[in-house]
Structure 1
Amino acid sequence: MGIEGVNSRIASIQSRMIALQTQQAAKPATTSTTTGATTGTTASGASFATALASAMGTQTGAAAVAPADKSYTLNSKGIPAELAAYGNGKIPASALEKVGSTGHKLWAPAAQNLNQMIADAKTQGVTIGITDSYRPYEEQVDLAKRKGLYSQGGLAAKPGTSEHGWGMATDLDLNSKAQAWMRENGEKYGFHENVPREPWHWAYRPKTS
């Protein structure tokens, strides 16, 4: 992870710590049932430890822990309202986030979950690479010319309709071990294999409100 990625992770950790410390401070301390002594170890304290472990990319158990994210209101096409307002292939840089130290970017919540997923897979000896991510409209047009439309046997979505154009899809570099891991764990992080002829294509689906 590059310096930019490290700084982003530190800022995220600090933000979560402040929020959880505020929540913990608002709750009274609990009393031990065995000694009657007052202790500062509360349910919120446990939540704080869990969130901190997740923020730092560690695990609290055998199962990988996907980062928490807020819920979104989706339109009839399954696109978050805040993204739909920008337009496909017209997402501003402020709404995008880098995938690790690569030059690839996705809609920020998707990038955050993908970064966590890649890190968790690595701890299990699985390497997940990335070959494509957000595609501006102009790139979608170029790709359609070069590879043909999916509806006509090609590999490109109609420009202006691509999941890549919303920053909600990524093309991954997966060997057989990584492909199997993704099929078992991808949904925990919001990623779904949804294009039959493209096992490398994984789309992100945010939580809905």
Structure 2
Amino acid sequence: MLNGITGITARINDIEHRISSMTQQTAAKTASAVSNTSQAFASALASAVHGSTAASTTSATTGTTGSTASMKVNSAGIPEDLAAFGNGKIPANALGHVGNTNHKLWAPAAEKLTQMIADAKAQGVNIGITDSYRPYEEQVDLARRKGLYSQGGLAAKPGTSDHGWGMATDLDLNAKAQTWMRQNAAKYGFEEDTPREPWHWGFKPEKLQ
């Protein structure tokens, strides 16, 4: 009888040991899974953070395209930075505001025009602006309203205007300002380049004095 009880007790102890061992193994696997999940989450979070930083850096770089634009032009006189976009399709980050106005030009041209207007004002000469960068749709509308220059009107064929490259501006000039422009505009890269339109001034970076 005693031997039977001892055997049963040993059997119970063996079962309890196995149960304990299985519990420990399950806990270890669970902890490992939690650890792996935590590591995966941390890795994903770090990747997202670094990716976001990289995207922000790229965006910032893209956003400064205008300020770092090259003054180089191709054989047609079009800035190399703009040629691939197409006339009248210049992206906003390649354009710059002229002073505190809503007028925009190719960034280097906007910078030079802003400087020129400020210098003229310091000398008692006021220069206003009536037009600047002209998207393709606006070129089409202008040609419809004012006629093509080649036919006696005042608009270039849509897709060919210097305004469409952000390389021309129409200025509001009185006699004094017109004289000042003819004497000084070349220093800032601007040229009175369109017959019948004394208000039209094109930016010629290759001719900067």
Alignment match, 2:17: none
Name the count of aligned residue pairs: 140
Contact 1:129 1:174 in 2 (8 A): yes
- Tell which has more relative contact order, 1 or 2 (C-alpha 8 A, sep 6+): 1
Q: Secondary structure at the match of 1:192?
A: strand
CA shift at 1:100, angstroms?
1.2
CA shift at 1:76, angstroms?
2.2
Amino acid paired to 2:197: E
Amino acid paired to 2:73: L
1:159-198 deviation digits (Å, cap 9, x = unpaired): 0000000000000000000000000000000000000100
CA shift at 1:85, angstroms?
1.1
Question: Alpha carbons of 1:72 and 1:101: their partners in 2 closer, same or farther (altered >3 Å)?
Answer: closer
CA shift at 1:71, angstroms?
6.0
Alignment match, 2:129: 130
Contact 1:100 1:115 in 2 (8 A): yes
1:57-81 deviation digits (Å, cap 9, x = unpaired): xxxxxxxxxxxx9863322211111
Once superposed, which parts of structure 1, at least 4 consecutive aligned residues long, lie more than 4 Å away? none
Q: TM-score, normalised to structure 1's length?
A: 0.65
Greater share of residues in helix: 2
CA distance in 2 between partners of 1:70 and 1:96 (Å): 10
Q: TM-score, normalised to structure 2's length?
A: 0.65
Sequence identity of aligned pairs in percent? 76
1:77 is aligned to 2:68: no
Rg (Cα) greater in structure: 2
Q: Which runs of 5+ in 2 are unaligned?
A: 1-67
Amino acid paired to 1:144: A
CA distance in 1 between partners of 2:190 and 2:154 (Å): 20
Contact 1:193 1:203 in 2 (8 A): yes
Alignment match, 2:21: none
Q: Which runs of 5+ in 1 are unaligned?
A: 1-68
Q: Secondary structure at the match of 1:82?
A: coil
Amino acid paired to 2:162: E
